Structure 1
Amino acid sequence: MAARLLLLVVILCSAVIIASSTSQNKNKNNSLPLPVPDGPDPCAGRRIHIRRLPASFNTHLLLYCATAFPLADPDSKSVPACTSLANHGLGPRTHNGTRSWYRTDARLLEPFFHRRLLEHDCLAARPAQADAVFLPYYAALDALPYVLHPDLLNSSALHGLPLARFLARHQPRVLARRHGHDHFFLLAGTAWDYSQPHDADPRWYGTTSLLRLPELANFTVLTLESRAWPWQEHAIPHPTSFHPSSLPRLRSWIARARRSRRTALMLYAGGVSRPSRLNIRGAILAECANRTSAVCTVVDCSAAACGLNPVAYMRPMLNANFCLQPPGDSPSRRSTFDAIVAGCIPVFFEHAAARMHYGWHLPRGRYDQFSVTIPKESVVMGDVRIADVLAAVPEDKVARMRERVLEMAPRVVYRRHGSAADLREATKDAVDLAVEGVLRRIRRRVSALESGHPDAIYELQDDDDDSDGRT
């Protein structure tokens, strides 16, 4: 087992190194894409330098899968932990015949994002040439020992400090040039889990203080769920299991979702244990218990039954008109993005569930076109019945909302690395939009610094994508 694990990690690390070497050689041999004669420079404002970090900050962390993942998922019925490393973090295919569906573990979004960024068409070989600097730091994986090992619990405030010290002493001019405002990295988790105060006593189990480090305060951090106020964070979609590699495969799935027969009014996919106190999840379960399956379908995702098994929930989602998205331990849910991919209209119970987080991918001004919001207080404390509200939506409006949902789907999908040119040219996926958002934010910060108006750094007008949701 140890030999097989080592071989798997070596293969993955080698692939990342080869891809990185290829990308660097491309930039060395061809420099950056040359400006078109008498035309604009296609890479103006888009050049990214991928900082070379010691393996202890990325590829070596993949070794944690054998010991840390089982500790984190003691009741998991999913595939063996290290199998998730396949396909640069997308995980193994759900079955041999597919080229689009994978058993994706969200914790491995960091190596996958790294792999995708190596395909960016405007990579810069040197930091001085770049508009932004990407740190291929696998932060969520680096946090695992702190949150799972009892002997390290009281050291969780140290998470990320070795990286900060490395950046300060190794080529310090790169960091000092713009005081870190041009640096960014991905954190495959919710910001709340990495924002514990340094002086918390006792330490909060399962969390670290990474986002509280003053040395990283100016960096842009991409998270799966952001907090409402910190200006350096921005949320990107939870990864689903759908990763198309070509335009025909994307269009084929969208067509299937569009023509699917919706025999159930609404669906809830999640844990089914009744909460100890009255809340929106308990209210949903109570209502569904008194409804037929044609009105409310429940998919039991307890004990990680749905985590890496998209068949368990995608087929029911294809058969439902509305997918209920109640908040749980945190406001956002991966299920929201699974529902969008399935063409199932999301039903939110508070704005914090998605509207407050994903402005680069799901334009805030268009939520009413592709989702329904029912205040949770009216369900839990009032006499509002969710099924009654949804049944009252006219059929023609449901059809229009589903069409808007499917228009949003390519924006929240993470297409496969090495995908065909037709897909890359036809639509922007979750990585493309995240990179564009980061570059917009960094350009604004740098402009504010250079113009002598540093207070403008803290403005957030650029957090929403202004492309009107079109791909």
Structure 2
Amino acid sequence: MASSGYYLVVLLFGLFMLMISFVESQTTDPNSEECKGKWVYVRKLPSSFNLDLLVNCSNYPLYDDFCPHLANHGLGHKTHNRSHSWFRTDPYMLELIFHRRILEYPCLTTNPVQADAIYLPYYSGIDAISYLYGSDVNSSAHHGLGLFDFLSNDSPEIWNRNHGFDHFLVMARPAWDFSQPLRNDPVWGTSFLELPEFFNVTALTLESRFWPWQEQAIPYPTSFHPPSVLLMESWIERVRRTHRTTLMLFAGGGGVSASPNIRHSIRVECENTTSGGGGGVGGNNFTISGSISKICEIVDCSNGGCDHDPIKYMRPMLQSSFCLQPPGDTPTRRSTFDGILAGCIPVFFEDSSAKTQYGWHLPEKQFDEFSVFIPKEEVVSRGLRIVDVLTSIPKSEVRRMREKVIELIPRIIYRRHGDSMGWRTKKDAFDIAIEGAIRRIKSRISVTSDS
């Protein structure tokens, strides 16, 4: 008997085919000035590289059943039936979300020669699961070779025209998951980004390494996907009006062992603080705003407890002035974007947690205008208290920083596909990623042409 995942994929496939037919019949005038320098061609890949990978969504090894996350083209199910904007989104569905959105991109072309960039709708993160957990774990160097074989043999002139420099794809995992050295015994990850065959392709990842030019981190999807600018602006007004009664919040897991690390230090400091509107906390005298009734709050997200339940962490974030964003297994966190969405000023402990990652979406030169940086070594090894740093920031500066955070909200969300009311005048994370990819591609082609 076929699984529910099979029927869902059949439905998705049908909807995708309808969308593709519609797009091809509505192709923008190739002489459009509005699209000059912005043309994107969607490479037609066999379904084995995308939709077929979703059929076994409940049977991947050592991985949760992600069939529910496929609903609404990767946005997941609504948080409640009457919701228009809130979904139980899994960040690893970004490849599916991106694929659906690009079919609405206003400057698609059916002519690859006209294209400024060529998008590969390959669900690399989902395809990687069998290499990460399953029977193919000892074949990590093979991940991606099938795709290269297809690109080289099916209409090879498309790939050969710029030797892959004009191609880009989305990889809904940290780049480290695709960076297993080719000659090493597999420890963790596949070798997709280490394959020379793909050195020229631009990879949009959830987290990038700092040296390969082709990698660029783009925001983790939050659970907020408004279908209209009006609903987005309504949320922003709610964020701006919210009464914040907690000084700082950490939403996450880890830090429960006695081994010294930044998450452990955060938990200890939070547990040792007391509530109050002013006076001494932990032996240090400082004053805090009379509106603050709680110094620190921890939202326990251990074992994926917050992954698909935005209500659990969004309400506390809305009530907090600062959201602590310590690194975990990797430097970056989805929580960074959840906090920004809530107008909660991010506190970073490593530059690689955001400053050196999301340059297209979070302006690096203005980082100190919307975030706080505290070196983790100062906290873990030298006893610097986070609360002392945050309470030393003048209230007027906190207000300015929060307003800067709020200004970033449209840039870090992925709007809902379909209805695009008012979005032509606003750019979301998808729009900014497309523009960045085209810029990167043009720059690389220019460099290779001159050399």
The one of 199, 214, 236 equivalent to 1:254 is 236
* Structure-2 residue corresponding to 1:464: none
- CA distance in 2 between counterparts of 1:133 and 1:420 reads 23
Structure 1: runs of 5+ lacking an equivalent: 36-40, 74-79, 454-471
Q: Does 1:349 align with 2:349?
A: yes
Give CA-to-partner distance per residue, 1:120-168, whole Å, 9 cap, x none. Answer: 111110211111110000000111111121x321111111110011111
* Structure-1 residue corresponding to 2:92: 107
Letter in 2 for 1:175: W
- CA distance in 1 between counterparts of 2:356 and 2:74 reads 28
- CA distance in 1 between counterparts of 2:112 and 2:91 reads 29
* Structure-2 residue corresponding to 1:365: 365
Q: State the Cα distance separating 1:6 from its structure 2 match.
A: 2.1
* Structure-2 residue corresponding to 1:265: 247
Report the 3-state secondary structure (helix = DSSP H, G, I; strand = E; otherwise coil) of the residue aligned with 1:120.
coil
Contact map agreement 1:245 1:419 (CA 8 A) in 2: yes
Contact map agreement 1:272 1:285 (CA 8 A) in 2: no
Q: State the Cα distance separating 1:116 from its structure 2 match.
A: 0.5
- CA distance in 2 between counterparts of 1:97 and 1:401 reads 33
The one of 178, 182, 185 equivalent to 1:198 is 182
Q: State the Cα distance separating 1:273 from its structure 2 match.
A: 4.6
* Structure-1 residue corresponding to 2:114: 129
Give CA-to-partner distance per residue, 1:190-231, whole Å, 9 cap, x none. Answer: 001110001112x113x1101011111100000000001000
- CA distance in 1 between counterparts of 2:44 and 2:258 reads 49
Contact map agreement 2:255 2:261 (CA 8 A) in 1: no
* Structure-2 residue corresponding to 1:59: 51
Letter in 1 for 2:92: R
Contact map agreement 1:64 1:141 (CA 8 A) in 2: no
Q: Taking structure 1 as the reference length, what is the TM-score of the superposition? A: 0.90
* Structure-2 residue corresponding to 1:438: 437
Q: State the Cα distance separating 1:31 from its structure 2 match.
A: 4.3
- CA distance in 2 between counterparts of 1:420 and 1:119 reads 9
Contact map agreement 2:255 2:263 (CA 8 A) in 1: no
Contact map agreement 1:182 1:219 (CA 8 A) in 2: yes
- CA distance in 2 between counterparts of 1:292 and 1:429 reads 40
Q: Does 1:317 align with 2:309?
A: no
- CA distance in 2 between counterparts of 1:6 and 1:232 reads 35
- CA distance in 1 between counterparts of 2:34 and 2:23 reads 18
Report the 3-state secondary structure (helix = DSSP H, G, I; strand = E; otherwise coil) of the residue aligned with 1:129.
coil
- CA distance in 2 between counterparts of 1:121 and 1:420 reads 11
The one of 158, 165, 175 equivalent to 2:142 is 158
Give CA-to-partner distance per residue, 1:38-82, whole Å, 9 cap, x none. Answer: xxx11111001000000000000112311127x224xxxxxx631
Aligned length: 433
Letter in 2 for 1:8: L
* Structure-2 residue corresponding to 1:457: none
Contact map agreement 2:252 2:301 (CA 8 A) in 1: yes
* Structure-1 residue corresponding to 2:447: 448
- CA distance in 1 between counterparts of 2:108 and 2:239 reads 36
Q: Let me know the Cα RMSD of the aligned residues.
A: 1.3
The one of 190, 212, 222 equivalent to 1:240 is 222
Alignment of 1:30-429 (within 5 A): 31-32=29-30, 34-35=31-32, 41-68=33-60, 71-73=62-64, 81-149=66-134, 151-201=135-185, 203-205=186-188, 207-275=189-257, 277-292=259-274, 294-422=294-422, 424-429=423-428
Q: State the Cα distance separating 1:20 from its structure 2 match.
A: 1.3
Contact map agreement 2:6 2:56 (CA 8 A) in 1: no
Letter in 2 for 1:44: K
* Structure-2 residue corresponding to 1:467: none
Letter in 2 for 1:72: Y
Q: State the Cα distance separating 1:448 from its structure 2 match.
A: 2.4
- CA distance in 2 between counterparts of 1:174 and 1:291 reads 61
- CA distance in 2 between counterparts of 1:419 and 1:411 reads 18
Q: State the Cα distance separating 1:17 from its structure 2 match.
A: 1.5
- CA distance in 2 between counterparts of 1:348 and 1:273 reads 16
- CA distance in 2 between counterparts of 1:68 and 1:309 reads 23
Give CA-to-partner distance per residue, 1:99-134, whole Å, 9 cap, x none. Answer: 000000111110110110111111110211111110
Give CA-to-partner distance per residue, 1:322-380, whole Å, 9 cap, x none. Answer: 00000000001000000000000000011111000100000101111100001111111
Structure in which a larger fraction of residues adopt helix = 1
Contact map agreement 2:255 2:265 (CA 8 A) in 1: no
Q: Which moved more, 1:227-236 or 1:441-450?
A: 441-450
Letter in 1 for 2:87: Y
- CA distance in 1 between counterparts of 2:63 and 2:396 reads 45
Report the 3-state secondary structure (helix = DSSP H, G, I; strand = E; otherwise coil) of the residue aligned with 1:303.
helix
- CA distance in 1 between counterparts of 2:348 and 2:92 reads 25
Contact map agreement 1:339 1:345 (CA 8 A) in 2: yes
- CA distance in 1 between counterparts of 2:255 and 2:216 reads 32
Q: Kindly, what percent of the aligned residue pairs are identical?
A: 51
Report the 3-state secondary structure (helix = DSSP H, G, I; strand = E; otherwise coil) of the residue aligned with 1:277.
coil
Contact map agreement 2:5 2:54 (CA 8 A) in 1: no
Q: Taking structure 2 as the reference length, what is the TM-score of the superposition? A: 0.94
- CA distance in 2 between counterparts of 1:325 and 1:273 reads 13
Letter in 2 for 1:61: L
- CA distance in 1 between counterparts of 2:446 and 2:66 reads 44
Q: Which moved more, 1:3-12 or 1:293-302?
A: 3-12
- CA distance in 1 between counterparts of 2:163 and 2:106 reads 26
Letter in 2 for 1:93: K
Structure 2: runs of 5+ lacking an equivalent: 276-293
- CA distance in 2 between counterparts of 1:208 and 1:82 reads 23
Q: State the Cα distance separating 1:447 from its structure 2 match.
A: 2.1
Distance change >3 Å, CA 330–CA 260, structure 1 → 2? same
Report the 3-state secondary structure (helix = DSSP H, G, I; strand = E; otherwise coil) of the residue aligned with 1:86.
helix
- CA distance in 2 between counterparts of 1:369 and 1:435 reads 26
- CA distance in 2 between counterparts of 1:17 and 1:227 reads 35
